[in-house]
Chain A
Amino acid sequence: MGEPPHRIELPDIPEAVAAPKSARSIQLVWLIPLTAVLIGGWIAVKTILERGPTITISFKTGEGLEAGKTKIKYKDIEIGLINSVALAPDRNRVVATAQLEKDAETFLVEDTRFWAVRPQVTASGVSGLSTLLSGPFIAVDPGKSTQKRREFVALDVPPIVTREEPGRAFVLRAADLGSHDVGVPVFFRRLPVGEVVERELDKDGKGVSIKVFVRAPYDQYVTTNTRFWSASGIDVSLEATGIQVQTESLVSILIGGIAFQTRPDAEVGPAADANHVFQLFRTRAEAMRRPDLDVVHLVFVFKESVRGLAVGAPVEFRGVNVGEVIRIGVELDPLTFTMTQPVEAYFYPGRMRVQARDPAKLPPLPKTQAEWEKRAQVFVEKGMRGQLRTGSLVTGQKYVALDIFPDAPKVKLGSSKTPIEIPTMPGGFEEMEAAVASILKKLDKVQYEQIGADVRKAMATLDEVLKSADRLVQRLDAELVGETRSTLQAARAAIERAERSMLAADAPLQQDARDALRELSRAAEALRALADYLERHPESLIRGKQEQP
């Protein structure tokens, strides 16, 4: 192998055949990188073009938020992804940076709301169960503003109602929140039609504003005349009329609720605007009550105990509720040192507006305090008095009865006082109590021992009398038998004689007797007719017999 190989002669190696020269000057292989560049470039351009806006959302807590995992969803469609989660510089909040899709640009306005959806268990239901395993996602409620915005503050609690839900929100004003927390249902004729979406203490701390959302189409039933009332739980009230139990539904028993309805006797009125302010009544009865436009402040000064009378107790005029007790107190007269119980009450004259045959002749309602006083004076002179009465013997609840006592002792009203004083009468029960007491007192005075001695004496006397009577009877027995026999014989003879003269059919006595009987029966008939007439027309006793029409 020492010979260099290039010297080897290989004579039988054939010559390669010349091939036709290729006309292609560009090598096709370069199409491959070109295609790759085109595809890569297209993907890159597409990604850049599809790249949506980047926003920051600040959360109260970063619970469950994961960079690259937590999605932003709208109607369960993914519109973005959390890129990073970091603490805010002041360490108060967690700031998440999110990359949104291109077409999510329209979401980013001033009033758009973001919140984290986590599993939630409340009295009214369970929500967000799917996030138990997949982790929370961020939900969006797109705003309507046109002001653009890139930095958002997430809601701490998910909103009950999102903006795109049709319906209207209304504001209810109440003295306290009661059990109307966010999420509490709103009922209309026992149908759940909405929820409490917000509650907020007034700036001055004197009341609470409750925002309720009523879903369409039920919101059309909320008119300016609609009354809202609290349907919280079971409403048990102990009143003079007995025990009242009111409830809306089982749910409302558990978590409370608000109901609304338009007063049946009121006109329907125009539909209320969104955010119209209503008063929240405590009970349905209160809400349905006719609004009392005129209020007269009265005071009843009672001398007896007012136990059983409560603030809110009714003032009734012959059984018609015309007012309510607002204050009960004790007053000391410094001159005479007598104590009285003034009971102040509101009297609603509107409830007493009677149907007059001729409304034109009805005197107009007084306008001023002085006029009201004058009007009260008229009634007091007619005998109007206040009286404390027991409404229910079971509960012992009392009410103030207004009534006219024509024979009430005349009372002179004190000059111009506010409130107007209405004199009082001892109540029915009190009168009875007093009578029973006086009877008992009299009974107490009876000398039972003396009576007993007298009775015994009388018994002894009676015994003696009976004994002498016995003796008398014995003597009569002995002496009278003979005498009686002869008398009987004489009597029989007399009867036989009389029989012969009187009982014969043609005896004159018989005839007379028959006539007399006939006369008597006629008289009886006339008497019956008179009695009949009198029964039908008792007034004829006084006015005499009327001519028949």
Chain B
Amino acid sequence: MSRAPATAASMGLVVCHACGLLSRTGPHAHDACCPRCGARVHRRKPDSVSRTWALLIAAMVLYIPANVLPMMYTGSLFGTQSDTIMSGVIYFWTSGSWYLALIIFFASIMVPMLKMIALVLLLVTVQRRLRWQPVQRTRLYRLVEVVGRWSMLDIFVVAIIVALVQLQALATILPGPGAIAFGGVVVLTMFSAMSFDPRLIWDPMSEEHGRAPA
């Protein structure tokens, strides 16, 4: 068995995120400051798991109104109509634009949901200090970070349409409360992913490797 590779944490070293200075920390690594620029330094992101959980739970809560409440109000000569994300998908699907329906369905419904599921998976495995598939999990984390911003597509579309279609009596489009909730979901999942420290995925590995020979 090869020994676990050395990590900065195992050697009591931290790097400052602000100025990049490497410094040595004592046993109370969480309460340290960078000796050069004074920024807080830490071996791992502080309270990463609980912060991620908090933001994730908030995103999950908002996911319900985001899908239930109307995203957009369309007012025209012939009355007002309110659309939720799902009703839009159904509309496009039934009217034949199935590819548009699929795009909206994946970008606006599947991606946020999968993102949240992925974050839950990562958090649970990290908390349980499982050593299961660390490479795949890290890859999943990177995917979550990359794909997260694409969910904002819906919000952008609504924002642009609302700004464009303001023909007073003829046609008016207004954002619904669902849009705000949806935006909240996207932003919160992005923050949640940001606050997650992927190094935690690997920590159990070094512990295991470090503990084994001892």
Contacts and interface: CB of A to CB of B under 8 A. Distances in A.
A binds B: yes
Nearest to B35: A14
Among B10, B24, B28, B61, find the residue whose CB has the most chain A CB atoms closer than 10 A. Answer: B61
Contact of A16 (B5, B34, B62, B79): B34
A5 interface: yes
Contacts, number: 107
Contact of A43 (B5, B23, B69, B188): B69
Chain B contact residues (Cβ within 8 angstroms of A): what range?
35 or more
B54 A30 contact: yes
Contacts of A27: 47, 50-51, 54
A16 B24 contact: yes
A33 B50 contact: no
A13 B55 CA distance: 36
A17 B35 contact: yes
Contacts of A18: 26, 28, 31-33
B57 A19 contact: no
- Report the 10 A-B pairs with minimum CB-CB distance, sorted nearest first: A134-B78, A5-B6, A16-B32, A36-B58, A33-B58, A33-B57, A36-B61, A17-B33, A16-B23, A29-B54
B85 interface: no
A15 B22 CA distance: 9
Interface of B: 3, 5-6, 10-11, 13-14, 21-26, 28-29, 31-36, 38, 40-41, 47, 50-51, 54-55, 57-59, 61-62, 64-65, 69, 77-79, 81, 87, 177, 184, 188, 195
B61 A20 contact: no
A407 B8 CA distance: 151
A523 interface: no
A30 B195 CA distance: 13
Nearest to B34: A16
A505 B25 CA distance: 191
Interface in A249-286: none
A211 B41 CA distance: 90
Main secondary structure of the interface of A (DSSP, over half): mixed
A14 B61 contact: no
Given A6-B10, A10-B22, A16-B23, 14 more contacts: A13-B22, A13-B23, A15-B23, A15-B25, A16-B24, A16-B41, A18-B26, A19-B31, A32-B54, A32-B55, A32-B188, A39-B61, A39-B65, A43-B177
A482 interface: no
Among A5, A8, A13, A21, find the residue whose CB has the most chain B CB atoms closer than 10 A. Answer: A13
A452 interface: no
A6 B61 CA distance: 45
Given A29-B50, A40-B61, A43-B65, A15 B35 contact: yes
B54 A4 contact: no
Contact of A36 (B36, B50, B62): B62
A15 B5 CA distance: 23
A35 B23 contact: no
Contacts of B47: 27, 29
A20 B30 CA distance: 10
Given A5-B11, A18-B26, A36-B184, A130 B78 contact: yes
B152 to A, nearest CB: 18
Contacts of B3: 4
A134 B79 CA distance: 7
A68 B91 CA distance: 12
B51 A29 contact: yes
A14 B23 contact: yes
Nearest to A40: B61
